[in-house]
Amino acid sequence: MAKCYVCGRRASVYVSYLGDYLCSEHFAEYFERRFLEAVRFYKLVERGERVAVAVSGGKDSLTTLYLFSRFAGELGVEVFGVAVDEGIAGYREYKLEALRSLAGRLGVEIIVGSFKEYFGFTLDEAVKALREKGFKVKPCSVCGVLRRYVMNHAAREAGADKLATGHNLDDEVQVFVMNALKNHVEGILREGIVSERAEEGDLVPRIKPLYFIPEKEVLAYTLIRNIYTPFVECPYIVYALRHPIRHWVNEVEDSSPGFKYRVLAVKELARKTARKPSRKPSRCAVCGEPSSRPLCKTCLYRAYLDERYR
Ligand code: SF4
């Protein structure tokens, strides 16, 4: 029987890069300490701020909501959740149910914005149109852009100073690999533990307190702290480039522990040393939201999906 490295009791989690086992109690303590250290070291929040947590109902965002709510007093912040109902039948309703249940347990307010209310169509309806157009644009591309728009708008309207997302180490490594494959250097340089797009007016600064924590550890923490999320997957994930990359990254990590941290270290080094392209903050000519192009991606997709253009 494996024993906890700290107390010698029965271990429940193996932390591969430490090469050690921890019991549930010491693992949860270690996990929470790393969350607090990241928040303090990178000054992700300041006392008196209102922190909106972007919650999808998945384990990472629920964990972020749980942690901010648990340590709100210690950090001196006010916390609430912002969720988006994209309109994905057989998926979103279950995730929202899990989210409402955790929010009720924590006593945290949740604001829900929907694609239907913001754009007049659900993602299911949008995917039908994309299919008719030969899937030249993938569902996740549309979903990601529109979801960010709703999140930012809802958080800003609710007076949020920061928008915290549940992105973990695995997410960051997968996005790094995808950006590298697409030669999207700006995407690599811009997205750190604090998103640099926050410098553009009207965008609520985005922070990622789980940036250095592997997905497997987030899962272990949810089990220990009884943070429940149903095992339903979005039906459109199969169209995402991210799907095969996720498997590849996990395979390499299994055969070479520490691989994900090494990739993140390369990314951080690049972010520190490379010259970032300078961009003047500008606005979309149609909706007036911050955008690096004359027409923002949200308006571009809305026009593409508009019935008159199908
Ligand atoms: Fe949206 Fe793609 Fe995620 Fe589904 S898998 S919720 S379509 S981003």
Give me the residues paired with residue 13 across strands.
22
199 pLDDT above the threshold of 70: no
**Atom 3, ligand 1: residue with shortest CA distance:** 140
275: CA distance to ligand 1 center in Å?
Answer: 32
Write the burial class of residue 43 (CB in 10 Å: 0-12 exposed, 13-18 middle, 19+ buried).
exposed
Residue 39's identity, in one-letter code, is V
pLDDT at 101: 95
Confidence of residue 200 (pLDDT cuts 50, 70, 90): low
List the beta strands (DSSP E) in the chain. Answer: 13-15, 20-22, 50-54, 78-85, 110-114, 162-164, 206-207
171: CA distance to ligand 1 center in Å?
Answer: 14
pLDDT at 242: 84
Give me the residues paired with residue 10 across strands.
3
Higher pLDDT, 113 or 303: 113
Residue 99's identity, in one-letter code, is L
Mean pLDDT to the nearest integer, 57-80? 97
Task: Report which listed range, 108-112, 124-128, 227-231, 294-298, is most confident.
Answer: 108-112
Task: Report which listed range, 82-96, 242-256, 260-274, is most confident.
Answer: 82-96
Nearest Cα to Cα of residue 164 among 91, 279, 234, 71: 71
132: CA distance to ligand 1 center in Å?
Answer: 19
pLDDT at 78: 98
Share the mean pLDDT of the chain: 91
Between strands 50-54 and 78-85, the pairing is parallel
288: CA distance to ligand 1 center in Å?
Answer: 26
pLDDT above 90: percentage of residues in the chain: 74
Cα separation, 2 vs 310, whole angstroms: 60
Q: For residue range 132-149, what is the model confidence (pLDDT) as tens digits? A: 888 888 899 999 999 999
pLDDT at 116: 95
pLDDT at 310: 44
129 pLDDT above the threshold of 50: yes
Test site for ligand 1: of 138, 175, 237, 246, most ligand atoms within 8 A of the Cβ: 237
Mean pLDDT to the nearest integer, 57-78? 97
Q: For residue range 177-190, what is the model confidence (pLDDT) as tens digits? A: 999 998 888 888 88
Confidence of residue 55 (pLDDT cuts 50, 70, 90): very high
Written out in words, the top-level CATH class of the domain with range 42-309 is alpha beta
In degrees rounded to 5, what are phi and psi of residue 291? -160, 145
Of 147-151, 222-226, 305-309, give the lowest mean pLDDT range: 305-309
Cα separation, 142 vs 38, whole angstroms: 31
Confidence of residue 309 (pLDDT cuts 50, 70, 90): very low
Confidence of residue 259 (pLDDT cuts 50, 70, 90): very high
75 pLDDT above the threshold of 70: yes
Mean pLDDT to the nearest integer, 33-58? 96
**Atom 8, ligand 1: residue with shortest CA distance:** 140
Q: For residue range 145-158, what is the model confidence (pLDDT) as tens digits? A: 999 999 999 999 99
**Residues lining ligand 1, judged by CB closer than 6 Å?**
139-140, 143-144, 234, 236-237, 240
Domain coordinates of the chain in residue numbers? 1-30, 42-309
pLDDT at 307: 64
Q: Are 81 and 99 in contact (CB under 8 A)?
A: yes
